[in-house]
Amino acid sequence: MTVGVNVSRFEGIAMAPPDPILGVSEAFRADTNEKKLNLGVGAYRTEELQPYVLKVVKKAENLMLERGENKEYLPIEGLAAFNKATAELLLGADNPVMKEGRIATVQGLSGTGSLRLASALIERYFPGAKVLISSPTWGNHKNIFNDARVPWSEYRYYDPKTVGLDFEGMVADIKAAPEGSFILLHGCAHNPTGIDPTPEQWEKIADVIQEKNHIPFFDVAYQGFASGSLDQDAASVRLFAARGMEILVAQSYSKNLGLYAERIGAINVVCSSADAAARVKSQLKRLARPMYSNPPVHGARIVANVVGDPALFGEWKAEMELMAGRIKNVRQKLYDSLMAKDKSGKDWSFILKQIGMFSFTGLNKAQSENMTNKWHVYMTKDGRISLAGLSLAKCEYLADAIIDSYHNVS
């Protein structure tokens, strides 16, 4: 008797490579070394390196329980109270854009989902238009535009010689882009480098974008979490809006409210008229419907409750300052440890010039692999480390690992 072999209809599907960021955490979990450090994923940790749920989030959730709110479907565009709160948080409640109704805001599935929805809008209504992204950028940006079939190219951003901003290269590449391109900008705390333009440089970037009739497309994932100030971290976006430019802005509340798993964010489109904003919003809703129908309510209610209640809003700002402050302290301690231990005379001051949860160490792929293989420090292969996953107590150990990898691995 012969036994037939069933050949899968999916035989032609190859195994996908592990995600370069999320795969770091999988490798970290499998490591049994007690000194191991996970500096790969951008998620805030306490000084004890434990996940942190903000106290203000717990209070907002208790309010929701007390009110006995239902679980009915939201409209396609999301929770109205959230959309109002998130747009005001971005631009300021008194901004003329808000008063004139020139903004289309649709709740999205955190930053990723909001970027994906905007990409679908670009693909449908700006066929052939190119998106320019910084080199380097967040690992998922390219995936999002590729899947949306939106062509992209890179503009210079990181200068390995100075471990700083290649501002002249950035401006030149934006100038050279085809007129009417979308220029993807990180509103604050550039990921992965932690290197932001100065206020004066932002003005010049805006000049070039206006001259070339480009459309600014901001990714704002760290408002309030970078500097500790919501207003300061939104300054770049507000500068462009104040010039009367039409802009796209994706927002996320994963970092600043610690709502990683709630997938709460928004896509905002600032238009030249209220009529244009209404039409853009209608088409964003049309695109969202076959993608995911409508967004989840829980995270939206948390944000709306926190931003809408003056007492809770004040508590949130205080907690953000504490989180941003802890990362600044860790950044300083790491720099101090590197300077004390490295006798080569290398200048590590670029670490202090960077901002936000990430630091771009300047380590290459081989050096980054040495960090993991020898020192059990898990990080992405581009040399990015998440300072949010580092404690003051571990700074000296990390400094030893960086110094060894930098000087002893080519």
Q: Above 90 in pLDDT, residue 3?
A: no
Rounded Cα gap, residues 269 and 280, in angstroms:
8
Which stretches of 243-378 are DSSP H helices?
274-292, 298-308, 310-341, 350-353, 365-373
Q: Are strands 264-270 and 358-360 parallel, antiparallel or unpaired?
A: unpaired
Residue 344 burial (CB < 10 Å; 0-12/13-18/19+)? exposed
- Given the residues 130, 138, 173, 375, the one annotated as active site: 138
Is the pTM here over 0.85, yes or no? yes
What are φ and ψ of residue 3, in 5° steps?
A: -100, 120
**Stretch 180-188: mean pLDDT:** 98
* Amino acid 18: pLDDT: 81
Fold match flag (21-52+314-408 vs 73-308): no
Q: What is the DSSP string of 71-129?
A: -PPPPTT--HHHHHHHHHHHH-TT-HHHHTT-EEEEEEEHHHHHHHHHHHHHHHHSTTP
Q: Which amino acid is at 242?
A: A
- Given the residues 59, 130, 166, 255, the one annotated as active site: 255
Q: Which of 405, 408, 406, 394 is nearest to 370 (CA)?
A: 405
Instruction: Let me know if 309 is a catalytic residue.
Output: no
CB atoms inside a 10 Å sphere around CB 232: 13
| pLDDT > 90: percent of the chain | 92
Tell me the CATH number for domain 21-52+314-408: 3.90.1150.10
CB atoms inside a 10 Å sphere around CB 278: 13
Tell me the CATH number for domain 73-308: 3.40.640.10
Q: Are strands 152-156 and 158-159 parallel, antiparallel or unpaired?
A: unpaired
What is the domain partition of the chain in residue ranges? 21-52+314-408, 73-308
pLDDT tens figures, 351-382: 999 999 999 999 999 999 999 999 999 999 98
* Residue appearing with tokens 């610690």: 258
pLDDT tens figures, 240-271: 999 999 999 999 999 999 999 999 999 999 99
Instruction: Let me know if 219 is a catalytic residue.
Output: yes
Instruction: Let me know if 138 is a catalytic residue.
Output: yes
- Given the residues 166, 173, 219, 233, the one annotated as active site: 219
